[in-house]
Amino acid sequence: MIKLPAKAISGDHAYSEVMMRRPSGGVLSDTLSVIEKTGDQYTAFLNYLTGVCESINAEERAVTDKIQIKQIIRKMPYKSAEYLSVLSASELHGSDKIEGIYKCTRCKHAIVCEETEDSDTTDRLSDLTINQTDETGFRVELKYPFVIRTTEGELEIKDIEFQFPTIENCITANLSADKSKLQFRIYSESMVKVNGGDVDKKDRARYGLAIFNAMDASDIAEIGRQNRSIGIQTTLKKNCPSCGKVFDAIINPVNFFGSALRID
């Protein structure tokens, strides 16, 4: 059994554990085709996990029906789905080495982390911190409250409550043609309360995106930090061999997932 970094809330149940099997050839090729044709990692994770999850368990309940499993994965926090997918892919691949190129934030020197015949500078998934929580989301009290105008008058935005963005939230946000605002759309989809009051689909359409467009950058950054606080922690310290600066490099679990699935 593998414990989810954060639970999937579906219906009246909180699903916290899964049992996974190895992916079939069909699951592999379907997942790779989604990644290569559309770059849509949300749908790729949904399809992949539906293919490899044998059962998903809540307190006293084990779901093994494929259609129900897919419904629960839609409600799974993205960071939980990312963790399960990456873990499964690394087991399949037989290695958890993560290659990457990281640019020094001061001198722009590129550090290449790779495995060659005589050296190995890759990072390992098993060395990364995985954060677990019993929370289902987070609340951000804004440092810089602001007023937006909606069709129903002015609204002061002071604090916002979010659920951890689910696969479904991400897929819905990704339907929009405007990919430049994808992260804001994901925040809008996962917003559950504004100033303590419930947010519904209509509210989201009316002012969801406007809130994040108008918000102060430091409040946006705080939402991002909270959002990434569960699951695989992707920030690593790197030491620049050219100028000596120690900087934060961000590893990309989706790249790792895509390359680990390529079985030659």
Residues at the site binding Zn ion, with contacts judged by CB under 5 A: 104, 106-107, 109, 240, 242-243, 245
- Residues facing residue 10 across a β-bridge: 13
* Residue number with CB closer to Zn ion (146 or 247): 247
Least Å from the CB of residue 238 to Zn ion: 9
Closer to Zn ion at the Cβ: 22 or 109? Answer: 109
Nearest approach, Cβ of residue 233 and Zn ion (Å): 23
Nearest distance in Å: CB 113, Zn ion: 15
Nearer to Zn ion, 205 or 243 (CB): 243
Cβ 239 to Zn ion shortest distance, Å: 9
* Shorter beta-carbon distance to Zn ion: residue 225 or 245: 245
CA distance 232 to 87: 10
Whole-number minimum distance, CB 246 to Zn ion, in Å?
10
Cβ neighbours of residue 79 closer than 8 Å, sequence gap 6 or more: 5, 6, 164, 227, 228, 230, 231, 232
Measured CA to CA, the distance from residue 140 to residue 228 in angstroms comes to 14
Task: Give residue 213's Cα distance to chain centre.
Answer: 21
Residue 107: other Cβ atoms inside 10 A: 11
Nearer to Zn ion, 72 or 240 (CB): 240
* Separation in Å, CA 225 to CA 4, 42, 52, 139, 234: 19, 20, 30, 12, 11
